[in-house]
Amino acid sequence: MNGLLSEHPLAELISEISTKTLWGALRVVRDRAKAVIYFETGKVIYATTNLHNYRLAEYLQKQGLAAAEQIAAAENALTDFALAAALMANRVLTRNALDRTLDEQVADVLRMLLLWPDGE
């Protein structure tokens, strides 16, 4: 489905996906900002964006779970999940801390997206 958020508000799209227990990804674009919400059986399982403040590295530093040097040491980590895997392999990050951080990150991304008055 392609459309505009002004015609199909994000909250309604999420509700419909949830009601129909759909799987897949919902991509949202506004200017240069891009985001993706992933669903399994209608439930949000992950949400991410290209906006720097909403990247995992930022959350880990803000919460004091990883230092900038530790994040930089995982130089091959091009995605949030690759970064998480590298930090857990280096015993910088525990699974519980990662799960809590991802929950916060996803909630913040969704809150931000729900505030977008327009987009595609």
At residue 73, the pLDDT reads: 85
At residue 20, the pLDDT reads: 94
At residue 1, the pLDDT reads: 61
R_g (Cα) of the chain, nearest Å: 16
Contact between 19 and 43 under an 8 Å Cβ cutoff? The reply is no
Specify the DSSP element, H or E, that contains 58: helix 56-62
DSSP for 71-88, written as a single string = HHH-TT--SHHHHHHHHH
At residue 17, the pLDDT reads: 92
At residue 43, the pLDDT reads: 96
- Pick the closest to residue 86 from 61, 101, 66 (CA basis): 66
Q: CA 35 to CA 112: how far, in whole Å?
A: 10
At residue 3, the pLDDT reads: 72
pTM for the predicted model, two decimal places: 0.86
At residue 76, the pLDDT reads: 76
Q: CA 117 to CA 49: how far, in whole Å?
A: 17
Q: What is the phi/psi pair of residue 90, to 5°?
A: -85, 5
pLDDT tens, 40-60? 999 999 999 999 999 999 999
| Residues of the chain with confidence (pLDDT) below 70 | 1
